Structure 1
Amino acid sequence: MTSQVANVCRSAYYHLSRIAKIRDSISTTVCKSLIHGLVTSRLDYGNAILYGISDRHMHRLEMVQRSAARIVRQIRRGDRQSMTTILRQLHRLPVRKRIDFKLLVLVHRAIYNGTPEYLAALLRRHTPPRSLRSAGGLLLEVPRVNMERFGRRAFACAGPTLWNKLPRNIRDNSNITQFKKQLKTLLFST
């Protein structure tokens, strides 16, 4: 994923530098729209495949997101402000949590709507061999993985692993809109 992350970062920094040059002459709303259209959309595009990448690559993507937040808020690099607070004010999840959010939404859609059928075929419900309290909790089976290829990053393994960590009340919610709201609340609080 080194070349993928490098290309995303290079493209994002190019657009950020162009936006930074005109930042004083545009409003915050226009700046947010520009950054979303040119930078954030590149970070989000296909980010489900970035699950489980190295911390070094994740840090590079987070630095892009932090630079974008600084430009929107017109904060200099040396200013001592918490980037977590700034991202929360902008209603933006950190990159790692955005990836988890996207994966969990894909799993939800595959379970309840069955929309991406090719993904739904990769998910199997966990059925314990004997009667347990967790049997009705809509848990998914995490398959054994081959570490030579994608390993734990594969959707068939990553999706159920994240899904099973969710609280039961969120997993049981079949309404996608409410599920997203509950999931964002949960991810912002952790």
Structure 2
Amino acid sequence: MVSVLYYYIILYCIVLYCIVLYCIVLYCIVLYCIVLYCIVLYCIVLYCIVLYCIVLYCIILYYIRVVIRSPRFSWSLLKSLHWLPVHYRIIFKICTITYEALSSTQPAYLNSRLSPARNSRQLRSASSNPLYIRRVKTNAGTRAFSVAAPTVWISLPVSVKSEGNIVSFRRRLKTHFFNAAYRP
């Protein structure tokens, strides 16, 4: 288990990092700020995607305010930068890892966590790579990759899952989540 002190040290480092980036932003144009923050945010998202979801959410809100140089946050700012909310970012990452595991580009330990659903009959859904969702007894068990990945994968439309390569899959997946997050 991660100790509370470790959590506060990480949070303190991220806050100091944000202050340094804010000082850099004062001397940059907005386009360069967006690129800089996308790079930094990607690194932070890879590190604390699940462990520090609330910290990640606060960082994204802070970055948006700094990049746009706005005193207050609004959802239209998030939409104008074409960034996904934190919940959809987490699902996006799970879907990407699942796609790579199914296409055998990920290590074997991730591929072994996913088992295809076996049907005795020929169904139309067989072409969409359905995965078996393991049963769990606790709420914490639903966050395991072997449960969360099939659950999210089954909820995706077939048009997103049927892409040939990872680049087009990620593009369609982000479009799908962006439309789901910002419905009018």
TM-score, structure 2 normalization:
0.82
SS at match of 1:113: coil
Which is further off, 132-141 or 91-100? 132-141
Q: Is the 8 A contact 1:15 1:38 kept in 2?
A: no
The one-letter code sitting in structure 2 at the alignment partner of 1:62 is Y
> Take 1:124 and 1:169, find their aligned partners in 2: how far apart are those partners?
21
Render the CA deviation track for 1:148-168: whole Å, top value 9, x for unaligned.
8x5111111111110000001
CA contact (8 A) 1:112 1:174 kept: no
Asked if 2 retains the 8 angstrom alpha-carbon contact of 1:101 and 1:183, the reply is yes
1:115 pairs, out of 106, 113, 137, with: 106
Gaps spanning 5+ residues in structure 1: where? none
Q: Is the counterpart of residue 82 in structure 1 residue 84 in structure 2?
A: no
Show structure 1 runs of 4+ deviating over 6 A: none
**Residues 9 and 61 of structure 1 are in contact (CA less than 8 Å); yes or no, is this contact kept in structure 2?**
no
Q: Please provide the CA RMSD for this pair.
A: 2.6
Does the aligned pair in 2 maintain the 1:8–1:42 contact within 8 Å? Answer: no
> Retained in 1: the 8 A contact 2:48–2:56?
no
Q: Residues 98 and 112 (structure 1 numbering): CA distance in 2 closer, same or farther, change over 3 Å?
A: same
Identify the match of residue 32 of structure 1 among 34, 37, 40: 34
Q: State whether residues 131 and 150 of structure 2, in contact with CA within 8 Å, keep that contact through their aligned partners in structure 1.
A: yes
What pairs up with 1:12-51 in 2 under 5 angstroms? 12-45=14-47, 47=49, 50=50
User: 2:33, 2:62 → 1: CA distance?
Assistant: 13
Question: Percent of counterpart pairs with the same letter?
Answer: 28
TM-score by length of 1: 0.80
> Could you give the per-residue CA deviations for residues 134-154 of structure 1, whole angstroms, max 9, x where no partner exists?
233311001122538x51111
What code does the residue aligned with 2:154 have? N
Aligned amino acid, residue 177 of structure 1? V
Cα deviation 1:13-49 (Å, max 9, x = unaligned): 21112222343322223433443444442133252xx
Inter-partner Cα distance in structure 2 for 1:82 and 1:31: 19
Q: 1:155 aligns with which of 117, 133, 145?
A: 145
State the alpha-carbon separation in 2 of the partners of residues 182 and 90 from structure 1.
Answer: 18
Give a deviation string over 1:60-86, Cα, whole Å, max 9, x none. 421210111100010013xxx633x21
* Structure 2 gap ranges (5+): none
- Residue-pair matches, total: 178
Separation of aligned partners in 2, 1:141 and 1:178:
25
